[in-house]
Structure 1
């Protein structure tokens, strides 16, 4: 199992790096091979995600908030060569996705789910050419 870790250092008002260190310890404790990348921008997150399958990664770990996860999803879903799971370590300010998907907030518990091969499938929505896994909004909620 080769894991690509994408870290958004801006998520959660800068808490991502601290939470990443805890995730890194969990990965090492469970002997999970990984390569980590600190993203420089939203676009960089997308580029890192889009290249994961071609580079031979079996999964992606998102270390960031809902926006980071959204960028990863929108750059891997629908690609013919891509069908890899996403491990979520939420470090954002809202973390709505893990709350609504009933995923563990505890970093070690989240990594252990991946290590044990117990994926938690979630529904995926699509509007025009944009995918969403958490919520879609219009009006004041829109981007």
Structure 2
């Protein structure tokens, strides 16, 4: 009888510890969603890499976070594309004919990526509003570049 009570007590303590840990994890998740920096608390609370991965995986399942993640990925893609094209134009005079052909092939592959990513996202209903905002942003960027070019011509 005594061993049964000890086992029950140990089980109860373990269940309590797990429940407290889960409550703390949910609290950190909510803080992170509200924009608070919780990295230090996460390191203290989540001991293994797997727990940390699970935390961020759960964070990524929230639709608002998915939209933010998609936006960040598209922004990075835009930056990489722009930088690659700028670098290709900058070194153009120093390239051989074969290198110029390779650069042109790279441009032809990179430029459609912007359109592909937006069109793929447009097929999913949950990203529809994000796609509209991205298209508006890109349209405004194009208008800005046009105005900038016109200002250079007038000077």
TM-score over 0.5 for the pair: no
User: Larger Cα Rg: Structure 1 or Structure 2?
Assistant: 2
Query: Whose helix fraction is larger, Structure 1's or Structure 2's?
Result: 2
Higher strand proportion: 1
Provide the TM-score with structure 2 as the length reference: 0.21
For normalisation by structure 1, the TM-score amounts to 0.22
